[in-house]
């Protein structure tokens, strides 16, 4: 569910969206549905507007084989909505970063930045669905061993970039793990991620050089390496920290699924299991990763400019590509 100051947008698998006006608007927006995420690319004269019914509640029935976007046309501006979590049969934590707004009123473009866990479990139907998303490059943040063990299906995108992020540097793991120790080990990995300067440089240059289409980045769970990467990307787009944390915590909706990745031989992993913290997203871990950057560079701008060596206009260029007013 997405809720704005004026509308509540609820997604139902079999019936599309229910859009409810939370108050009586001065003028009812004209509602369109399309497979195009960017309203700037739409010719609205070719679309059939959908009527409001029952005091502002609209139900839309849609095909499940394509991704759709709802556009509320207010005359002077357009609001666009879609699923944040992309419905897949064999995907893990696959979602869209679109729809988040910064204090300047700019919104992350839907259908251009996707994050996910590993892709090796995608069904043939999932793969067909993803191929029609227009993804141009898949950025794999995993190690070479993970990539070989769980390879990405071929032809999901024209290009695959292997950009491994460093994990915890200590080589020994205690023979007996409890949740506190597991959390401490996970924290060490978060503190190691920002030291992967070569991979992060390549990632942001990939985003800046992307001429058209979407970019997908992922690790194994889509929670830790992907979570820190998403946080840095959203920060670069001026998205407020509380929204960045909100996006980070969505991974906890997949904890039961993620638990099977950290304890492959134990199917009874639950909240009391020693490895349960490995299946959860903790804001304090995300803050620990950011603090490593702040301690080294003083602020995040200096990390991008001096740590990653990006050009002086990198931020304006990135926001021009991935934000819409």
Domain boundary among 55, 82, 109: 82
Domain hosting residue 110, numbered range:
84-324
For 259-290, letters b (16+ CB in 10 Å) and e give: bebbbeeeeebeeebbbbbbbbbbeebbebbb
For 186-195, letters b (16+ CB in 10 Å) and e give: bbebbbbbbb
Looking at the fold, whether 186 and 298 belong to one and the same domain comes out as yes
d(CA 35, CA 55): 26
Looking at the fold, whether 270 and 316 belong to one and the same domain comes out as yes
Contact partners, residue 12, CB within 8 Å, separation at least 6: 18
Would you give the DSSP letter of residue 305? Answer: I
pTM: 0.93
Looking at the fold, whether 77 and 122 belong to one and the same domain comes out as no
What is the chain's pLDDT, residue by residue, as a tens digit (325 residues)?
777 778 888 888 766 888 888 888 788 889 999 999 988 788 888 888 888 877 677 777 788 888 889 999 988 888 899 989 998 999 999 999 999 999 999 999 999 999 999 999 999 999 999 999 999 999 999 999 999 999 999 899 999 999 999 987 654 455 567 889 889 999 999 999 999 999 999 999 999 999 888 999 999 999 999 999 999 999 999 999 999 999 999 999 999 889 888 766 666 777 888 888 889 999 999 999 999 999 999 999 999 999 999 998 999 999 999 999 8
Looking at the fold, whether 112 and 24 belong to one and the same domain comes out as no
Q: Distance between alpha carbon 195 and the CA centroid of its chain, in Å? A: 22
Of the candidates 87, 31, 88, the residue with the CA atom closest to the CA atom of residue 59: 31
Helix, strand, or coil here: 314? Answer: helix
Looking at the fold, whether 3 and 99 belong to one and the same domain comes out as no
Looking at the fold, whether 98 and 166 belong to one and the same domain comes out as yes
CATH of the domain at 101: 3.90.190.10
User: Interior CA angle at 222 toward 152 and 308, to 5°?
Assistant: 90
Residue 43 vs residues 31, 40, 124, 161: alpha-carbon distances, Å = 14, 8, 32, 34
Residue 267 pLDDT:
65
Residue 117 pLDDT:
97
Looking at the fold, whether 60 and 133 belong to one and the same domain comes out as no
Residue 262 pLDDT:
77
Residue 265 pLDDT:
61
Looking at the fold, whether 186 and 219 belong to one and the same domain comes out as yes
Looking at the fold, whether 66 and 143 belong to one and the same domain comes out as no
Residue 171 pLDDT:
46
Looking at the fold, whether 136 and 12 belong to one and the same domain comes out as no
Tokens of residue 321, six digits? 């590509």
d(CA 115, CA 94): 6
Residue 8 pLDDT:
87
Residue 212 pLDDT:
84
Looking at the fold, whether 75 and 91 belong to one and the same domain comes out as no
Domain boundary among 82, 105, 134: 82
Domain count, the chain: 2
Residue 275 pLDDT:
84
Looking at the fold, whether 65 and 95 belong to one and the same domain comes out as no
Helix (H) or strand (E) holding 292: helix 283-297
Domain boundary among 51, 82, 113: 82
């Amino acid at each position: 569910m997405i809720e704005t100051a004026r509308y509540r947008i609820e997604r139902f698998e079999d019936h599309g969206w229910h859009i409810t006006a939370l108050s009586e608007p001065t003028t009812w927006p004209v509602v369109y549905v399309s497979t195009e995420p960017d309203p700037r690319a739409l010719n609205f004269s070719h679309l059939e507007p959908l009527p409001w019914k029952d005091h502002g509640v609209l139900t839309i029935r849609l095909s499940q084989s394509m991704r759709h976007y709802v556009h509320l046309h207010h005359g002077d501006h357009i609001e666009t909505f879609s699923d944040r979590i992309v419905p897949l049969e064999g995907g893990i934590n696959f979602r869209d970063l679109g729809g988040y707004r910064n204090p300047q009123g700019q919104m992350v473009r839907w259908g251009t930045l996707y994050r996910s866990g590993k892709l090796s479990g995608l069904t043939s139907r999932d793969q067909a669905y993803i191929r029609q998303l227009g993804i141009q490059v898949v950025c794999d943040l995993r190690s070479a061993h993970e990539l070989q063990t769980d390879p990405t299906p071929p032809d999901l995108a024209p290009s695959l970039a292997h950009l491994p992020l460093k994990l915890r540097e200590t080589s020994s793991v205690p023979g007996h793990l409890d949740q506190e120790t597991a959390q401490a080990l996970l924290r060490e990995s978060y503190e190691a991620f920002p030291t992967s300067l070569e991979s992060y440089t390549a990632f942001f240059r990939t985003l800046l050089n992307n001429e058209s289409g979407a970019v997908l980045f992922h690790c194994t769970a889509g929670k830790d390496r992907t979570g820190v990467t998403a946080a840095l990307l959203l920060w670069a787009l001026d998205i407020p920290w509380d929204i960045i944390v909100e996006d980070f915590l969505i991974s906890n909706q997949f904890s039961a699924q993620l638990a099977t990745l950290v304890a492959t031989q134990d199917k009874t992993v639950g909240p009391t299991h020693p490895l349960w913290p490995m299946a959860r997203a903790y804001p304090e871990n995300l803050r620990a990763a950011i603090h490593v950057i702040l301690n080294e560079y003083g602020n995040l701008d200096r990390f991008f400019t001096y740590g990653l060596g990006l050009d002086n206009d990198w931020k304006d260029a990135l926001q021009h590509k991935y934000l819409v007013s």
